[in-house]
Amino acid sequence: LEPGDVRRLVMDEFALHKGHRYATVIMDAERTRVLWVGRGNSRQAIRPFFELLGERCRHIEAVAMDMNTAFDLEVRQHCPQAEVVYDLFHVVARYGRDVIDRIRVDQANALRHDKPARQVLKQSRWLLLRNRENLKEDHAVRLQELLAANQPLATVYVLKDALKEVWYAPSVREGWRRWRAWLRHARESGLAPLQRFARNLQHYARGILASARFHMHTSLLEGVNNRIKVIKRMAYGFRD
C-alpha cells in the first residue's frame, strides 16, 4: 500500500467455528480488496492492523462497521478524524429481533384464549421480517390483513421502514430531520421494546447519520466472507 491511498475501510466479523469463535476482515472500500484478516473480534484482535497502518491512519476518512463497540473504540483511538458509519442491514436485523419479534410474541401471548388468532401471529414472523417488495401477492395480502388487525405490529412495521429512510437521506440535515421524527414516534408509541431500542440507538446516532456523507455498508464483505468459507471447506483437515 502506498501512503495515503487507503481512505475508506469496511470491517466485519465472520464465524471461524461453531461456538462463537470469530475472525475479522478489513477491506479497502474503494478498491474492494482485502487488506487484513485476523483471529478474534475484540479491540486487541484488530489493533495489529492499525499498528501496521501506522502514520497512514491519518488518511482514513470513514470506516463502515456493525454496531460493534470494540471496533468503534479502536478506530476512534487510531483514526480520530475518521467517521464511523454504521451498517443499515445489521441495525434492521437487530430491530427485527429486539422489536418486531418481541411485540409479535407479546401480542400472541395476549391471545392465549383465542387459539386461531394466536396461531396466525405465531406463524407471521417471516411475513413481518421480509421486505414488502420481496413478498408475493398473496403474502402481501396476508401481511396487510395482519397489520390492519393489530395496531402494535402495524406501528413497529411502519417504523422499520421509516428507520431505513434515515440511512437513505440525501444530506446530513435531512438525516437529522428523519432521525428526530423517527425517535419521536418511537417514544410516543407506548411500546416498551420499541422505546428501549430507540434509547439504545441514540448512542449510535452520529454513525447512523454519517451514511448521508459516506454511502458505505458492510455488504461489500459478504462475497469475501463467503469466499473465505469456501477456502475453509477446501482446507478441511489442515490445523491452520
The mean pLDDT of the chain is 87
Q: Which domain holds residue 223?
A: 8-87+217-234
Contacts of 24 (CB under 8 A, 6+ apart): 11, 12, 13, 37, 38, 40, 41, 45, 46, 71
Residue 23: CATH number of its domain:
3.30.420.10
Residues 190 and 109 in one domain: yes
Residues 198 and 97 in one domain: yes
Examine residue 159 and state whether it is found in any structural domain, yes or no: yes
Residues 68 and 115 in one domain: no
Give residue 178's pLDDT.
Answer: 97
pLDDT average, residue stretch 71-83 = 95
- The conformational region for residue 20 under phi > 0 = left, psi -120 to 50 = alpha, else beta, is left
Residues 72 and 151 in one domain: no
Using only the alpha carbons of the chain, give its radius of gyration: 21
pLDDT (tens digit per residue) in 203-225: 999 999 999 999 888 877 777 76
Residues 140 and 222 in one domain: no
Instruction: With beta carbons less than 8 A apart as the criterion, state whether 193 and 159 touch.
Output: no
Extract the C-alpha cell encoding 203: 448512542
How many domains does the structure of the chain reveal?
2
Residues 82 and 108 in one domain: no
pLDDT (tens digit per residue) in 11-62: 988 877 766 678 899 999 998 889 999 888 899 999 999 999 999 999 999 9
**Closest to 226 (Cα-Cα) out of 15, 52, 48, 35:** 15
User: Considering only 55-64, 74-83, 174-183, 231-240, which range has the smallest mean pLDDT?
Assistant: 231-240
Extract the C-alpha cell encoding 115: 387459539
pLDDT (tens digit per residue) in 93-117: 999 999 999 999 888 888 778 878 7
Q: What band does 3 get if pLDDT is binned at 50, 70 and 90?
A: very low
In 8-150, where does DSSP find H-type helix?
43-53, 69-78, 88-95, 101-110, 115-122, 125-129, 137-149
Contacts of 189 (CB under 8 A, 6+ apart): 155, 156, 159, 195
Residues 195 and 111 in one domain: yes
